[in-house]
Structure 1
């Protein structure tokens, strides 16, 4: 904090006039203390209020234009009020200021045109295939949208004795103890509430996997939070200890023992503040204010994200539009892509892999010009590792439905109910690219979960619970496609031989779906005549041998089917 004031005072010298005549003229001399004070205030606003990093590029960016304007104004005023001041000297002073200002503006406007290669290299995208997108266990696919988690958190916050003092902070998804949760810190509601409160009361945890699981209010008094003021503002607290780093993002996480922490992603700029480089995190204990700095490599495992979503979105854009340089970006536009525009929804969606590691997902469409209709199919999609910054581009999804189309299909399916689709996520479900789309009513209450096959919009399933939705989707895959259903390593292949107890046949447009019960098994098995024509002759009392992927669904599609008698 002391360093910040010293830097502000030193840089305030740039606000003083450089003409000796100014200092010797009584009319102008009386303004010198005011100008110096204005310089100090400007520095305090930049470094204390605005939390600007005290770096060379930061100082040049925010002080050089004002210094240049000062030369122009000073030379003009001295020439105006001091008759003995030579016109040539005034023109030289004003000219130097004008040249500096013009050079700065031209550099600032033209420099981005020469950074295409640097930005593309910083994105460092790698093209991969679907074989590297491992299937995810059904139980660990998040189906609870952020808006529903915020809705439930808001209700639970009503249990606080002085709930009018507080607001909900930003809700983030994270992994804890092998499951996914939405975690929301409780923040102050303004300056006067901060003055009257000793500490923020804690945080709220809502399951991202099970909408019926009760949320938890964890009461932990937190002093250093983003909504506090002066030295208790967590960002200002970090800036006072680390004045030179660039702070890119501050978010809330809990560790293995459910202790609260604020994670500040830090780094630096390259290419004169045009390209962001994440270097690590600063972990702040909001209770004690203790801080620890970590590089990307030595960040504790419980930290879910080091790279914030806006950095992921920025690098996705660079990877898509700068593949062949700046000329192709504006003229040829060959092979260029862009992340799908989500409107008011999240631009980057947090998804997890089989180890529950968080990645930022977005799908890519072909790059369209201004006024052109947005493509309805995706060229590919990316997974941006939130801890390492690794960007993987899955190119073999070309021709699949993009997320916007999946949302439209889900809303059309429930048009009568007037449900609104939340931000979809793409997963490898049963060996298929599948959009998982939550549907909410107008009050942000989760009503349905819908799975849409990315290759065929006619193959989808939905339900008001995750198990029901996945069971319906698996049934559609088994009856409407000829491809094998491959849930992956997390689901076991079961083989049984048993006697048929009951049979029901359902005539569809292009096939017959046969559903049957087996003795001593409490679930419904289903098989399509398009895959096994002899299934239409199944009768009670027959002995069958079947194989199926045991995902625990009540309606279980059959992979292999044989009538033994």
Structure 2
């Protein structure tokens, strides 16, 4: 009898360990009291222990009504009164753990800790004109994530040797790479079978898309990516991280590349600042080389400059909403809503100071369709800047732009905020039904009744400045037009924003002259050695010119 009991205990323990191990291997909870997943893991283990105990310490009866425990109503009978008592203790422990989890969640909530939530984010009021400089249009991202996915999938479709085995991950992280906004996304295995046949070489590369030119390429690596979200077992990036850092509560991980193009997984570890489960920010960041699997652990304040995505956009948006709605407590945020403001529905990204900043508008908690200002939030440092500028709410601006081209059924991307002529300006790309960018729109945030449209960014800007000059909002300085003549020493045809241009040099000047073929078709008559007279205006790189008879 004693041997039978010992074997029962050993068998039950082994079965429980198997259940716990399988659940842990699949769910990968952090071993940390601040992790909700850890408490769920404990509850699952306790419930599994109770079920296993029932299997080994009870027997099924032919009829209900006998036994030592209330489970007898189901036709279950404990073998001894002591077995029933132990089961009751196990059930009580499970209930206590569930109660602690529920109470911990309540004590961590905004209802009780409104002031702590409100102080999680420091917000500095800044000057728009001082911070947001007029940018070169070769640094403006004209694609959103959906358009990037469309282009990335089309480029992948041309890679005959890859497309049958790999797909493009839908991550498409926007980063700054060599002072240019780009989106990057790794390839992934097409299926489990394709992982088995290709895992020895790894994933051969990643997609990189220039957000300003819409050019995309598959970047092939000398050694393949061996740690990814589509890998399995120990090479799955989540499992690789969990076994190396069992107590870290990782947020969503993101794919980035360093200045040399080496792929990395950026893995922020959550920090709970309010109670057990409330006030989430980031405490540490693990960088994992996607090729070698080597990891480096940093305090959030010491993350390398090339890293762009430490704080997710959703986390920053939530933090600002706490800041804006909880100034006078939780009840005020629900009932009176005095002085309550919140972020608008949507956001975009802006490159500033070699970092990626989340941009979104700020509006009052109500049903109005206008903004009282906007914020920029640094995704690497959490620095937040507020700009008090009232005007159109982003969705209203998008509708206004779409109305301008309603006959074409274009849809507008969420606006970017630009400084054009010293004026805060919404800039949007307009996409067709296939998700491809076809034209662009600009409108003044404060005076948003009029919309400027252009098939190219430069044409859109010119139309916008002309429109705002006519309304007296922007004072446009008229550039002095000059004349020059000489013999053509070099003439090269190129395409700028979809239009043909001739770049010309002449013997009487060191400047480069840019002639738009659409506006000046007669330029095609000229060749090297011909004498030409040009009328031009000076610019930073090339002088806009036209031939003069």
- What's the offset of the Cα at 1:363? 1.1
Matched, 1:52 2:53: no
- What's the offset of the Cα at 1:106? 4.0
Residue 462 to residue 85, structure 1, CA distance change in 2 (3 Å): same
Match of residue 480 from structure 2: 496
CA distance in 1, matches of 2:190, 2:100: 45
Map residues 233-244 of structure 1 onto 2, 5 A cutoff. Answer: 233-244=236-247
- What's the offset of the Cα at 1:429? 2.4
Task: Describe the superposition over 1:75-106 as per-residue Cα deviations: whole angstroms up to 9, x where unpaired.
Answer: 99863535746999987876665455445434
Match of residue 232 from structure 2: 229
Which residue of 251, 255, 258 maps to 2:254? 251
Residue 414 to residue 39, structure 1, CA distance change in 2 (3 Å): farther
- What's the offset of the Cα at 1:327? 2.2
Q: Is the 8 A contact 1:471 1:554 kept in 2?
A: no
Match of residue 523 from structure 2: none
Matched, 1:288 2:288: no
Match of residue 166 from structure 1: 166
Q: Is the 8 A contact 2:452 2:460 kept in 1?
A: yes
Map residues 33-432 of structure 1 onto 2, 5 A cutoff. Answer: 33-34=11-12, 37-46=15-24, 48-58=25-35, 61-63=39-41, 65=43, 79-80=69-70, 81=78, 84=81, 98=95, 101-102=98-99, 104-109=101-106, 111-112=108-109, 113-139=111-137, 140-158=139-157, 159-169=159-169, 170-197=171-198, 198-211=201-214, 214-220=215-221, 221-270=224-273, 271-341=275-345, 347-353=346-352, 355-368=353-366, 374-394=367-387, 396-398=388-390, 400-432=391-423
Task: Describe the superposition over 1:492-517 as per-residue Cα deviations: whole angstroms up to 9, x where unpaired.
Answer: x8863769xxxxxxxxxxxxxxxxxx
Q: Secondary structure, in 3 states, of the residue corresponding to 2:188?
A: strand
- What's the offset of the Cα at 1:130? 2.6
Structure 2: gaps spanning 5 or more residues: 59-67, 71-77, 484-508, 517-536
Moved more, 268-277 or 429-438: 268-277
Task: Describe the superposition over 1:522-550 as per-residue Cα deviations: whole angstroms up to 9, x where unpaired.
Answer: 899xxxxxxxxxxxxxxxxxxxxxx9997
User: RMSD across aligned C-alpha pairs, in angstroms?
Assistant: 3.6
CA distance in 1, matches of 2:98, 2:174: 45
CA distance in 2, matches of 1:550, 1:459: 30
Match of residue 18 from structure 1: none
Give the TM-score normalised by the residue count of structure 2.
Answer: 0.76
Q: Is the 8 A contact 1:173 1:181 kept in 2?
A: yes
CA distance in 2, matches of 1:146, 1:90: 54
Q: Secondary structure, in 3 states, of the residue corresponding to 1:142?
A: coil
CA distance in 2, matches of 1:154, 1:89: 59
Aligned residues: 469
Q: Is the 8 A contact 1:253 1:261 kept in 2?
A: yes
CA distance in 1, matches of 2:89, 2:290: 54
CA distance in 1, matches of 2:377, 2:450: 28
CA distance in 1, matches of 2:303, 2:235: 24
Task: Describe the superposition over 1:265-321 as per-residue Cα deviations: whole angstroms up to 9, x where unpaired.
Answer: 224323212222312322222222222222233222211222122211221221222
Give the TM-score normalised by the residue count of structure 1.
Answer: 0.74
Match of residue 493 from structure 2: none
Residue 416 to residue 231, structure 1, CA distance change in 2 (3 Å): same
Moved more, 62-71 or 257-266: 62-71
Which residue of 452, 459, 465 maps to 2:456? 465
Residue 91 to residue 224, structure 1, CA distance change in 2 (3 Å): closer
CA distance in 1, matches of 2:88, 2:293: 54
Q: Is the 8 A contact 2:347 2:359 kept in 1?
A: yes
CA distance in 2, matches of 1:24, 1:129: 81
